[in-house]
Structures are given as structure tokens and as C-alpha cells.
Structure 1
Amino acid sequence: MSEASATLNTTNPGPRGKEPERNGIMNSGERRLPWWHMILTGVIAFVVVAVLLLATGAFTLPAILVLGFFAHLVIGYLYSRVREGERWAKDRLMTLILVGAFATAMIPLVSLLWEVISKGGPRLLTPGFLTGDMQGFNGGADGGGILHAIVGTLIITLGASIISIPIGLLTAVFLVEYAQTGWRKTLGKGITFLVDVMTGVPSIVAGLFTLALFTTLSGEAGLRMGAMGSVALSVLMIPTVVRSSEEMIRLVPLELREAAYALGVPKWLTIVRVVLRTAIAGLTTGVTLAIARVIGETAPLMFTIGVFQMMNANPFEGRMMALPTFINQQYGFGHAVCGDKGEKVLNYFTREEFACNPDINYQRAWAAALTLIVIVMVLNIFARFVSYYFSPKTGR
């Protein structure tokens, strides 16, 4: 009975056997530190580094961030080694390294977003910027809009998607489901090699190829239209769709295919209703990544669609404007020349007068870049919704 009572008291301690309460610093009998201890060691590390840099006269923000991080690794590891032991100290060290790597990767992204938002946000919120075009605006006229560039970007990207998604998806299905034996396997190896080669083709080469193709077919050296831009972007988009779709289809378990075949379902129907249905989340993500890659390409569009200051929603007739070419054009204009203070610039089309702004071209370029980022973000959110609602739901 005495041994049973001792065991009971050990597993379910009463008032006398309960653990001591924490007083901010863990007791010596405990082995795991609360999360805020690592924050405390980080603060200590950065304070020590800041004091040393001030004493040596080398106080800079980058120096504090870099040296403070390495000091935090040392101090955090030693502190955890003393309080928790070697095993948990190694875990803390690796956790800090991973957090530091993530923070390092986020620095360029955050700085880029901050730069674009700070420089393009005020012009983007200007009335008429998202609903107007550049017809009649010249010099430093403080006005103009990008509606024609937004419409052109969406139409050209939509055309490229209509061309690329079916071709890329069907090619991936062939490589995974059919190119297994015989001549199909040989053909599949050749297609895979060509897709890998196309992945590394520079974007400007895609533009030159499209320009040469349409010039040869039409016989017009100066032909420019939105459909040419769609074809050029599809050359860049197809390899990404093929490779991402191929990997997603390969992840579908073979048991699902065998179960469908056992029920007498034809192979083509199994691919449509089982394989593609199961991989829809990954396929949507791959297509979105491919669109995000080509939507900001400038070089192919410079050779294929040209520039146009007015609205043109017909991709098969006349030049068009896209956001990448608009950004390149406006940034290339540089600072506008303004004379005396209060000088007015006339819009020769509407006969309206606008104040002269020497930085207007840069402001339009940054605002258009911010718009392009917002469009890509909206596409990614849309892809997330599609993946969530159409992917197979797992049972509990």
C-alpha cells in the first residue's frame, strides 16, 4: 500500500505535492523556458551591440541589425544552454537562425512595397487617375490616367492565358498519363527537353520571335497589336504552366486512378473527373504563378504592342498600352520642364489647363507600378478562393 500511495502522490500530487508557481524566472527543476525569454535575450543583445557601436563611433542601423542578430545567437544559445540544457539550446539556436533567415528574406520585399506605396500611393488616389487615359497630356501637365493601360494589361494577359493554359495543361497530362512506354515515352522526353529550354528563353527573344512571326505572315513591318503581345507572353507562360501542372498531377495518388479503373471508368474520364479534380488546388496555384510571371514583362510588349495614349480594347486592331510599357515610357520621360511658378500646361485635346508638375512622369510610373502589384495580389487571392472551394474536401 505504501508503494501504491507513493505512486499515486507522484502522478496526481495533492496540495503538498503540487509544482511551485512561476515567478517570472523559471525554477531550477523546470527544463523549458517561456517564449519571452528569447525576446529578452534579443533585447539585451541589441542593447549591448548599440552601446559598443556608440562607444566606437560606428553606430549605424545596418550594423546594429547584423551584429545584434549574431550577438543574439550567441547570448540566446548560452542562456538556453545554462537554463534548459544542450538539447533545447540547439533547438533555440536553429529557431533563431530560421527566424533570422525569414526576416532577411522579408527585408527586400518590405522595402520594395514601402518604396512603391510611398511614391505611388498619392498619385494613385488622385481623382481621375484610374478612370482616365493620357490623351492630350504632354509636358508636365498634372493629370492623366492609366485606365487604358489597365484594360490593355488585362486583355493581353487574358489572351496569353487562353493560349497557354490549355496547351500547358494538356501537355502535362500527356507527359504524366500517356508518355510511359514506346514512342510516346520518346516523344515525352523530347517535349520535356524543349520545355526546359523554353524556360530559360529571355523575354526579349520571345518578343522578337513574335514580331518576326507576325511580320512574315502579314507582310507589314510596322504591325503592332494586342494579340501579338498575348502570343509573346504565352511563349513565356507555357513552360511554367507545363512544369507546375506536371508536378501537381504526379502528386495525385495512383490508388485513385486504380479505383476509378476498377469501376469501369474510361481513362479520359478518370483524368478529367478524378486526377484533375484532385490536383485543382495545385494547378490553380501554378497557373497563377505563371500569370504573375508574365504580367509584368516589358521587353516582349515593346516589340509587339507598342505604345498608345488612348483606350483600345480590341486586341486585333491597332496598338495598345499595358502597364509595363506605360511604366517604362513615363520613367523614360524623366523630369518635365516647367518654367515660372504657376505655369499652366494645355491639354490640346480637351483644351483644359493643368498645373505644371516637374515630377509628374515619375509619379505616374510609381502609381502604375503599385497598380500592377495590386492586380497580382488580387489574382493570388482569387487563386486561393478557387483552390479552397474546388479542391476535394478531406473527411474527418
Structure 2
Amino acid sequence: MDAIDNPYTPNAGASPEALIGRDDQTTAFRTLLQRLDRGRAEQSMIITGLRGVGKTVLLNRFVRIATEANWEVVEFEASKHDDSHFRQTMFSQLKSALLRLSPRARWTARARSAAEALSAFAVNVDQRGTWSVSWDIPPAEGYADHGDLGMDLTDVLVAIGEAAKENSRGLVVLIDEVQFLAASQLEALIQSIHKTVQRNLPVTFVGAGLPQIAELAGDAKSYAERLFKFPKIDSLQGDDARAALTEPAMSEGALFDDDAVDLAIEITRGYPYFIQELGYQVWTVGVANRITKADVELAREAYEAKLDSSFFRVRLERATPLQTAYMRAMAELGPEPQKAADVARLLGRDSTQLGPTRAELIEMGLLYTPEHGYAAFTVPDFDKFMLRAVPTLEVPPLRRARP
């Protein structure tokens, strides 16, 4: 079938033709904004899930919902940077949001106060010589200038929240890959949102991250579990999985045979990114707007090769030999979460010797800890890929300590 008409979008964060199976999350987000609009408190959200389940796609949908509701949106992807870089990012985004909420020519006292708080927030970084502030508003004194990220960000979000409330508007901060925020940055966000809730301001923070983020948030602030909901999204099941595969094709006048759908769901296990990738490959081999089981079988090799060369391998290439061996040992033990002691035994090491390696893999976003003492892959089917990519388990020799 015509490649130009291919309705599948196997790209990171690309919105599919139809967002299937996420009605609960979009409804919860609309409820959050509507309650804040009415001056009623509601828990913010951090969406959790494995790679490829559509967290970024869901955040992009939230952007559209918020914009349609006349809310201002600050959105970015978290990365492993120090607090100065985080301040710079927040300043730049919040400055733009404030100017959209209230153009300078129409500033009230509250809007100017928010601008001055932003200047103080920025000056705190500028004094360290890390970046230059293109903002000619004099900084507030004694406000957002404490030198503490949490206190400063709290002052800024409260000030912007008051300006937004005055204009019958709201502000939502959307952050993807939340697990890559430093502990101080996550703590600052939680602390500042907590204060806007106490002040009854139309400000909220919604994030998305890997499964460990709920634990990280709880470690950052003990009240995080009361401040946030942590909805988990996973693979699509039943009719939702089938619809995610077949509806894009139907939009282009193509139909799947029932047994072709059954095989496709068996191969992809209902993971949204996998469905998009398999659908894309099937489209390239299908003919006459009818997709058969034989077409799915024919496309399967190209589908697996594409996943191996991009979705999977890009993560393996970041690993050291010992990290690779650790993941290969986990894969050999099976797809379930693996106990650290069992992995160490297979590698011929003690758990304490491999503790740093396991911690590194968690920090890299390749593993997470579903329960104490266990680790699992953050990428679906990564165990199968490891067995294909690293046929033999090879354990690097121990490094001898220097005398």
C-alpha cells in the first residue's frame, strides 16, 4: 500500500491517529483543571509507566486540553543537569508564560510582582556566572532571592499563580522524564506546588516518568503521596489493543482480517509503540487495502529488526561491559523482576560488589525497582533483545584494587 498514506507513527512521542485506552487519564486531567478553575483543590498527577506505553503522547494530549481550556502551559523534558540549568529552564519558560498571561503593557501590580520575583529567581543564577538574563525588570528584594531552590521557586509560582488568578486563568507545568530531575529539583517542584495548593491558586504540575518516580517523589517530600495521584499506564488490552491497531488503517480504507489482528496483538503484547511499529511495517507489505495474517508474518522480521536497531540498541550502547553483563544475566533468568542476589550469583559475584552497577543502571533509566531487592527492565521485551544481541554471557574480570 502507498507509503505516503501509512497512518502509523512509530516515532518517539508522536501522536497516533487515535489515542486509545487513555480516557481515564484525560478525564482526570480535565477534572483537575476544572476544579482548580472553580477554586477547589485537586491532586496533581505524575503518570508512570514503562518505555513505549505512550506517556509522552499523553502529555502532548494534556497540552491540547489545557490550551483549549485557556490555561497557560510550561512544558519541557527533564534532563540530568545541575540546579543552575534547571533554574535557567524554569525562568525562560515561566517568563514566556507570564507574558502570555499578562502582556507587559497591561501589567497590574500582581503581574509586575511576579516579574520581579522571576528576576530575583534569575539573578540567583546569574551571580554564579552561568548564564546571562535577558530581562530588564529589577529583581524583588527578599522574595525569590533566598538562594534555596525550593523557597525561590515557591515564591515565583505563588506570584505567577496570583497573577493568573487575577486574569481568571491558570498555569500548568508539564514535565516529561521526571525521573531525571535531581532530588533537589523534584523537591523544589513538590514544595512549590504544595504552597500553591495552600494558597488556593490555579497552578498545577503534571509529570510523566518511569515507574520509580512515585518512590522518588515520596523520598523528596513525605507528603507527595497526598499531593499527587500516580496513575500507571501499561500495555493496551482486549478491544483497546485491537482498536489501536485497526482504527488507523480504517481511516485509510484498509481492513485487518481477524486472525491478522490476533497475531499482531500476540507479537506486540498490546504495547502502544510496538503496535505503531508493527502497523507501519505491515502497511509496507499489504496490498489491496486488506491486511492478512500472512502480511503480519511477513512484516514481523522487519518489525523486530527495526526495534533492535533503534528502540532497543540505543539503550544497550550506553552500557559498560559490566552493565551489559548484568542486564544479560537478568535476561537469562527470565522476563520477571529479578532478585539482586540471583543476578550476582549468575555473574559469580557478591551482591555488594554489583550494587553500584545496579544503581548505575537504575540512574540511567534502564532498570527500576518494583520492590525491595528486585530489579526489572524499564523497556518491554528488553530481556528478549538482550538474548538476541548478546548470545553469550561474558563477565568482565574483577578489577584489582590499587595498593
Shorter-chain TM-score: which interval?
under 0.3
> Which structure carries more helix by proportion?
1
> Which structure carries more strand by proportion?
2
- The structure number with the bigger radius of gyration is 1
TM-score scaled to structure 2, two decimals?
Answer: 0.24
TM-score scaled to structure 1, two decimals?
Answer: 0.25
